Amino acid sequence: MQGLWQLFYNMELGLMTVLAAMENHRIHVDKDALKRTSDLLGTKLKQLEQEAHKAAGQQFLVTSSNQLRLVLFEKLRLHELCENKKLPKTVLKQHHSTSEVVLMQLQDLHPLPKIILEYRQVHKIKSTYVDGIMSCMKKSYISSTWNQTGTVSGRLSAKHPNIQAIPKQPIQITRKQYIQGKEPEVVTIHPRSMFITEEGWTFLAADFSQVELRLLAHLSSDPELLKLFQEPGTTADVFSMLASQWKEIPETEVKHADREQAKRIVYSTVYGAGKERLSEILGITADQASQFVESFLQKYKQVRAFTQKTIQQCQKQDRCLSRASERPPEHSEHHPGYVVSIMGRRRQLPHIGAQDYTIRTQAERQAVNFVVQGSAADLCKIAMIRIFTLVASSSTLTARLVAQIHDELLFEVEDSQVEEFAASLKSTMESLQHVEALGVHLKVPLKVTLSTGKSWGSMTEVLDLRSCSH
């Protein structure tokens, strides 16, 4: 069974009941607010369409890539104004691409690319997060369908609607005023605020704080990273502390930009983002991005050792097992290289030994990413099972788990039980530093942050458990 029975028996089997219960729970939606938002976004799209036609000097279908390509490259010839920049082309027909990356490169040359970028953002919000939710509504509520086996990392996925994809941050839209001399009005749209609790109930969210960074510290055993989490009484912001350590500056001098850089570099290490992607995110050159990553990995040497060891083990598996394929086919079975999460979940990576550099390096990034992200997914699943069992075995608790957004669990709790349940929730999740049944003993403590609110968009962090019921 390749050591997978324990994982199946202790986790996946127990999770089926939890997901079945989640699909039976309803999340109430403010239908009027959803309708108003849809109308507002519809008006904004019409405005942007008119602006695009004006900027182009002609009418064209804004949603058509072919028509946009003709305007940008045949009429306006913007590619000719791009000095020292080679614009990407489409894979099949080798036409000029109209992708987001290209439009961002062109946006300072002419007003049209910027208008199209905004149009696409507004269109995405309207179609996916507003109209998409309305189409999944039954009366005044939604109930997502949860897929246990839909991702290679072991994470859960959701559909009808995909509640995990709803943006956490509010989005600002500028609304033109048609009264002369009146400034445009800025409207803030928060898709999560459409989700509201039932009368007498409160949303309670529990989030594993920096779980992937904590797992990276555990897996790499990097002394500097471990120190960040193991020092007792550490309540400061971890990414600020990380930036202070890495840049060797006092924590009081860490700027927001330093913190963001540290955070992005950690996640680009975990997710295997290249220097080009990192340079886009941080708004710096690819060379600067390379230097940042290099200086970071020089500081945290064991992180680099962990990524290299993970890749080497995967390649070694591939080589060991592929020798079997030299025997006659009827006696052999070629197993690709694989990696394993802290709880024993496997991901096979058949291209880990590929000759093609692009294909091989993609498999290498996936190997490192899986070990960290797959381990985080496992922790969250175990948390769901433990808390479900806690509520089911209690004669008083009635809390309902309504959604899982990767490292965060969203519950609906009766107002009178918020304080009691919040305390149990926090201690249960943080106790997963040790999971005897699956042989998990993390070198770093887990930290769970709680937040409450009457709508999913207005959650405030609970700093004192005694205050969360007020």
pLDDT tens track for 438-470: 889 999 999 999 999 999 999 999 987 766 655
What Å distances lie between residue 411 and 127, 186, 433, 453, 457, CA to CA?
A: 27, 32, 22, 11, 14
* Residue 279: C-alpha distances to residues 9, 261, 268, 275 (Å): 43, 10, 11, 6
**Cα–Cα distance between 453 and 201 in angstroms, integer?**
10
Domain count of the fold of the chain: 1
CATH number at residue 70: 1.20.1060.10
Mean pLDDT of 204-226: 94
Per-residue pLDDT, 468: 62
Indicate whether 128 belongs to any domain: yes
The answer to whether the Cα torsion of 129, 131, 137, 139 is positive or negative is: positive
* Bridge partners, 408 (sequence order): 207, 405
Residue 234 is predicted with a pLDDT of 56
Q: Judge whether 136 lies within some domain.
A: yes
Give the pLDDT confidence score for residue 1 in this predicted structure: 55
Measured between alpha carbons, how far is residue 286 from residues 99, 155, 275, 326, 329 in Å? 20, 31, 5, 43, 47
- Percent pLDDT > 90 in the chain is 60
240-279 pLDDT tens trace: 888 888 888 998 898 988 888 888 888 887 777 777 778 8
pTM: 0.87
Task: Tell whether 119 is covered by a domain.
Answer: yes
Query: How high is the pLDDT of residue 182?
Result: 74
Within a domain: residue 62?
A: yes
Task: Give the residue, 2 or 21, on which the prediction is more confident.
Answer: 21
Indicate whether 223 belongs to any domain: no
> Alpha helix (H) ranges present in 183-255?
211-220, 223-230, 238-247
Structural domain boundaries enclosing 85: 30-140
| Distant-in-sequence contacts of 272-277, Cβ < 8 A, 24+ apart | 272/364, 272/365, 272/366, 272/368, 272/369
Query: What is the sign, positive or negative, of the torsion defined by CA atoms of 91, 92, 97, 100?
Result: negative
Higher pLDDT, 132 or 247: 132
What pLDDT, on a 0 to 100 scale, did the predictor assign at position 320? 62
Q: Residue 233: inside a domain, yes or no?
A: no
Dig out the tokens for 95 from the structure: 């036409």
Q: Return d(Cα 130, Cα 142) in angstroms, integer.
A: 13
Q: How confident is the model at residue 284, as a pLDDT?
A: 79
pLDDT, mean of residues 296-309: 91
440-441 and 434-435 as β-strands: parallel, antiparallel, unpaired?
antiparallel
Other Cβ atoms less than 10 A from the Cβ of 62: the count is: 21
The pLDDT of residue 188 is above 70: yes
Token pair 């960040």 is found at 228
Within a domain: 45: yes
Position 93 in a domain: yes
